[in-house]
Each structure stands twice: as structure tokens, then as C-alpha cells.
Amino acid sequence: MSSVFAGARKRLQNLGKLTGISIPVIESLSRPKATHCASLPIRMDDGSTQYFDAYRCQYSAHLGPCKGGIRFHQKVTQDEVQALALWMTIKCAVVDLPYGGAKGGVTVDPKGLSRMELERLSRAYMRAMADFVGPDKDIPAPDVYTNARIMGWMRDEFEVIKRQKEPAVITGKPVNLGGSLGREEATGRGAFLVTEFLRSKEGLATEDIRVAVQGFGNAGYNIAKLLFDAGYKIIAISDSKGAICDEAGLDVDRVKEFKDQFRSFGSDYCERSVCESVTHKTITHEELLALDVELLVPAALENAITSKNVNDIKAKWITEVANGPISAAADDVLHDRGVVIIPDVLANSGGVIVSYFEWVQNRAGYPWTLEEVRSRMQERLKASFDEMWLYQHKSENTSLRTAAYAKALKKLEQVINMRGTKEYFSNIEN
Ligand code: NAD
């Protein structure tokens, strides 16, 4: 199986060289600071014990405490967690957050657990990692198949261990447990905003933009809903079980209503698929990605588009809501074909931006209004998007991804050099 981390590292090294970052800095950013591994023994409801592999990668702490989500998924590996932590490092630097990058995960199919088993697993994860996380060390958050409730359990477990209140140890919590207003929608809203910035540069009307959305979880649903409300035509949506399409346009609210209606009480996950909702034609996952649309929104997992299917892609724009949905090789092909890609490190950064706001509110003990959260996120994203756009248009044949990496790596290079002693050795090149 190909290594996601090797792909992420290769992209970092290529873009680092292309944008003039020194070799020692690229080397230093090509490996994680630390990756903690644990085996979590969980008492199941039937009395048996099962063991689950758990990881927390603290990739870089150059710009501040590490920051990144926790994923519960059957395909989680140390390799994947390290790639995601590297991307978090770049993302936090792109949008000027005072954070390094991290990511965590547990190899588990969470839909197969009861709610009690899920709570035991979440608390066991925090017990295993409690020595490594904290408001000034490493601050986790939700990711695929984790949510506010799980963040609440983890905060509670951390406080039991430390015997003191520590709301800022984790973000994406329920609002009444110290969560921020607007955090739940933040990743989708941020991705919607950057798509709107692109649309206004390109001068298209919303009703002329047909959209396919891969993944209908937190991030996928929220961007689909905002695009739909703004008049974009959502013609296809998928989840892990299948995909639906209607050339006349799907009603995103009705699709969501259906999924929510059948949410199982026994678990925290939706048991029914988008395939069982509203009038539609059922298509395959592959067909959704290959639809003739103006905008494709991959909002599920890594490597949705690789060398294998890149030639089938017809979209003109891609907003990368998922982390790493396009492999480096496929990225080059799409770029050469003139497809405009808003890269993950910018497109999905709304989540970590509002997580940062949550951490600030927790530390100040002073909550913000929803309006404050939304307008400050928009301001930050607009500044970052305009910066990337300008860079892209000043240099020939470059991409928004190159612009984002150029900014992040330059910033990291300055900090790495300032903390070090390189200038004492003037005889050393690079
Ligand atoms: P989620 O668990 O809420 O939803 C994941 C969705 O993907 C579900 O609808 C699931 O059915 C679907 N899915 C899984 N495999 C699929 C497949 N092969 N085809 C189609 N759909 C599939 O997760 P999320 O939080 O929405 O995260 C989605 C992506 O966004 C991930 O890459 C995550 O890293 C990224 N992201 C999330 C956040 C956040 O704040 N939640 C922030 C930044 C980036």
C-alpha cells in the first residue's frame, strides 16, 4: 500500500525546493518531532476486552503548541496520522495561527461500538495521551468520526486526571462545556467562503455552478448547505455507503433531514445513507467524482483523486475540504489541465481557525458571539486567500497550493533559523 506520509513529505520537499527554502529547513520539516503510540484495552459491553491501536503525532511545535484533530476510523495508521499532522503544520502557518501541527487517531470502526464503548474508548485515548497534551503543549479537536460529544468526554477525562479545570485542552467541545459558537459549522463555512472568493474573481453566477460533494459529514454537509442556500446547484452527494445524483439539483436540507431522521439512538453515528433519501438516481462513488460539474468538493478521506482516476475528472474547480484528497501526481495533471484547486491547507482551515478562537475564549474566560466568530474567521480567510491569489498571479505557471506552501514554509524557515545557531557557522551553505 502506498504511504500517505511519503506522498505528503515528497510534496513538502518538492514545493520547498521550488520556493527556495533551505535544505536543512526542508530536512527538519520532513520528520515528526514525536509520535506517541498506545494500545487501548477496552471493556466491551459483553464483558470481553478488545485492544485498539492509538496514535498522537506532534509534528512541529515551531510556531506554538501543537494542534490537530483526532480521527476514529478503521483505516487509521501511524503513517496516515503523520501525514495529517504534517498538513496541520502547514495549515496553521498558512492562516497565521500561533500553533504547530499534530494529529491523532484510533484504528477502530466506531459505528460498530455502542455509545458506552465509544465513551470508554474516548476516555482511554485521553488517559493514554494525557502526559503529552495540554493547553500549552498540544490541543486536540474533532476529525473524521469524532464530534463535540467525544471532545466533551475527553476534556472531562483530562480534568479528572489533572484535578483541575482545563477547558482549553481540547477544542470542538459542546458549547455548554466551553465550546465556541460557530465551531461545528466552521470547516464547511470556511470552505464555502474561499469558494465564494474564487467565484467572485472568476465572475460566475452561483446558478451556473453545478456541484458534486463527496462526503456528507460535518464538513461536507456544512459546505453543501451554504452553497445550496447561496444558489449553487448541488447535483450529487455521497457518503461512505453510496452516491446520489439529480441533474435538476438536490435539496440539501431534505437529504440532511432524511439522514438525521434515521440517526440511531444506540450510537452517535448516522446509520442510514444518502442513497435512501429524496428523488434521485443512484450512482457509484467513482461516477460522482467524474461528473461534468463546475465545482467538485471532496470532503471525505485522502487520495480520492489519484493517477488512476485523474483523467476522468471533468470539474473546472476543486475545493479540497478533506485533507489530502488529491495525490501529488494527480495534482500535477490537474494543474497542467488548468483546473483551479483551492488547497486543503487553506480550504478547510476554517475548522482550526475557530478552534483557535475557542482556545482564546477558554483562556480569557470570555465567550464571543456567533457574529464575532464568523466575521473574524471571514477576515482571516479573506486575507489569506488574497495573499495566495496575488502570489499565484505574480508568478508564472504556479498554483494556489504552491502559494500556500511558499508562505507557510517561509514562515517556518524564519522561526527555525531564529531559534537555532546556524549563523555561527558561516562556512556552511544552505
Ligand atoms: P465526518 O466523520 O463528519 O464525515 C465523514 C463523511 O465522509 C461521512 O459522511 C462519511 O460517510 C463520508 N465518507 C467516508 N468514506 C467515504 C467515501 N469513500 N466516499 C464518500 N463519502 C465517504 O468527518 P468530517 O469532520 O466531515 O471530515 C471530513 C474531511 O474533512 C476529513 O478529511 C477531515 O480530515 C477534513 N477536515 C475536517 C475538519 C473538521 O473540523 N471536522 C477540519 C478540517 C478538515
Q: What is the pLDDT of residues 334-386, one digit of tens each?
A: 999 999 999 999 999 999 999 999 999 999 999 999 999 999 999 999 999 99
Q: Check residue 264 and give its pLDDT.
A: 39
Q: How far is the CA of 72 from the centre of ligand 1 (A)?
A: 11
Distance of CA 426 to the CA centre of its chain: 40
Q: Check residue 258 and give its pLDDT.
A: 82
- Atom 28 of ligand 1: nearest residue by CA position: 300
Cα 406 to Cα 3, 318, 391: the distances in Å are 24, 20, 9
Are residues 194 and 385 in contact, defined by beta-carbon separation less than 8 angstroms?
Answer: yes
Q: Which amino acid is at 52?
A: F
* Atom number of ligand 1 nearest to Cα 221: 26
- E strand or H helix that includes residue 122: helix 115-129
- Atom 41 of ligand 1: nearest residue by CA position: 143
Condensed to tens digits (0 to 9), the pLDDT of residues 21-49 reads: 999 999 999 999 999 999 999 999 999 99
Check pocket membership of 303 for ligand 1, CB cut-off 6 A: no
User: With bands split at pLDDT 50, 70 and 90, how would you rate the model's confidence at 272?
Assistant: low
Eight-class DSSP state of 322 = S
Mean pLDDT, rounded, of the chain: 94
Active-site residue, from 67, 91, 103, 173? 103
Separation CA 260–CA 174 (nearest Å) = 18
User: With bands split at pLDDT 50, 70 and 90, how would you rate the model's confidence at 413?
Assistant: very high
Q: Quick one: CA dihedral 403, 406, 409, 411, positive or negative?
A: negative
State whether residue 53 is helix, strand or coil.
strand
* Atom number of ligand 1 nearest to Cα 172: 40
Least confident of 193-197, 237-241, 298-302, 304-308: 237-241
Q: Check residue 266 and give its pLDDT.
A: 35
Are residues 203 and 179 in contact, defined by beta-carbon separation less than 8 angstroms?
Answer: no
Eight-class DSSP state of 312 = G
Rg value, the chain, Cα: 21
φ, ψ for residue 18, nearest 5 deg: -60, -35
Separation CA 58–CA 69 (nearest Å) = 11
Higher per-residue confidence, 179 vs 427: 179
Separation CA 132–CA 36 (nearest Å) = 9
The three three-digit cell numbers of residue 32, written as one number? 515528526
Residues found in the chain: 430
Long-range residue pairs from 364-367, CB within 8 A, at least 24 positions apart, any chain: 367/180, 367/181
Q: Is the pLDDT of residue 396 over 90?
A: no
Separation CA 157–CA 213 (nearest Å) = 36
Separation CA 58–CA 102 (nearest Å) = 4
Check pocket membership of 218 for ligand 1, CB cut-off 6 A: yes
Q: How far is the CA of 185 from the centre of ligand 1 (A)?
A: 13
Check pocket membership of 362 for ligand 1, CB cut-off 6 A: no
Q: Check residue 394 and give its pLDDT.
A: 85
Higher per-residue confidence, 149 vs 427: 149
Check pocket membership of 299 for ligand 1, CB cut-off 6 A: yes
State whether residue 311 is helix, strand or coil.
helix
Q: Check residue 154 and give its pLDDT.
A: 98
Higher per-residue confidence, 228 vs 278: 228
Q: Check residue 267 and give its pLDDT.
A: 41
Q: Which amino acid is at 149?
A: R
Number of H helices, E strands in the chain: 14, 12
Check pocket membership of 13 for ligand 1, CB cut-off 6 A: no
φ, ψ for residue 233, nearest 5 deg: -100, 110
Q: Quick one: CA dihedral 18, 319, 274, 234, positive or negative?
A: negative
Q: Check residue 397 and give its pLDDT.
A: 77
Task: Give alpha helix (H) positions in 295-343.
Answer: 328-336
- Give the residue among 2, 6, 29, 9 at the shortest CA–CA distance from 410: 29
- Give the residue among 250, 178, 182, 266 at the shortest CA–CA distance from 222: 182
Contacts of 251 (CB under 8 A, 6+ apart): 228, 278
Contacts of 42 (CB under 8 A, 6+ apart): 49, 50, 51, 52, 117, 120, 121, 124
Check pocket membership of 16 for ligand 1, CB cut-off 6 A: no
Are residues 267 and 111 in contact, defined by beta-carbon separation less than 8 angstroms?
Answer: yes
